Chain A
Amino acid sequence: MEELPTQTYRVTRADLVRYAGASGDFNVIHWSERLATKVGLPGVIAHGMLTMALAGRAVTTWAGSADAVVDFNVRFSRPVPVPDDDEGTEIEFRGVVKGETEDGLTQIDITATCHGEKVLSQARAIVRRHHA
């Protein structure tokens, strides 16, 4: 099994605001500490779909082309709290090539962690891989 180079991406509150605007997901739990804690969250959390988008960025980086993804699946297992400071938080993406599908596509299994905790589970992409 081929291990792919780990991709680490930083997420700050500014990124959450930018993603909210780009995606149209304005759920208050992604920008209001007051309302996030009111519904029992540890604080403002990243959009699950932002975490998935970053996983997609890691996958296209690994695959070597931006249009490589044919099938992409994740389960959101844990929220990603983003503190209100300049550092934000880091999400680490690890990928392992699991092999080829019958039609010559490559399966990559993804592990996403934040502070050592898994934030995505059953994360998998099927990609069209460009061979160097």
Chain B
Amino acid sequence: MALDQSFIGRTYPPTAPYQVGREKIREFAKAIGATDPLHHDPEAARAAGYSDVVATPTFPVVITMAASRQIVDDPELGVDYTRVVHGDQRFAYKRPVVAGDELVSVNTVEEILSRGGHDFLTIRTDVSTSAGEPVVSVWSKLVVRGEG
């Protein structure tokens, strides 16, 4: 069944703050083989003008994928997650994520398209510090495959 178009533009309440840890940044960088000292060594990060180690470009997904369950799991919207395939992903940065950041996510249903029996759901997650400084906006397009 097609997703309810009236959800387009709906913004959800901010998620609980996520505390970005130095070891989590290191763990994520290590998992993808990113060896640049900026991700691992606070001294190197400080020399580059940051307060602590800097996350790799796709690190925010750790926060936003969990945050976007707010929409995906919304029983009123009714997404069948077993039929979901990841379509597109985009990150637009104001500045990189740094250890010590306390980040809050605000999810918005940006687009719902129905084509060829499938639904295309675009979620935008605006990530900012708990003090209100914008850090990164993250778009995830999910394809909800139709039945049959």
Interface residue ranges, A against B (CB under 8 Å): 9, 15, 18-19, 21-25, 39, 48-50, 52-54, 56-57, 59-60, 65-67, 69-76, 122, 125
Contacts and interface: CB of A to CB of B under 8 A. Distances in A.
10 contacts: A18-B31, A19-B31, A52-B89, A53-B32, A56-B57, A59-B57, A60-B34, A67-B50, A69-B57, A74-B88
B31 A22 contact: yes
Interface stretch (B4-12, B59-67, B104-112): B59-67
Interface string B50-79: 100010111001100110000000000000
A22 B86 contact: no
A71 B60 CA distance: 13
B39 interface: yes
A24 B38 contact: no
Contacts of B54: 66-67
Contacts of A54: 32-33
Contacts of A70: 92-93
Contact of B56 (A15, A53, A65): A53
Contacts of B28: 22-23
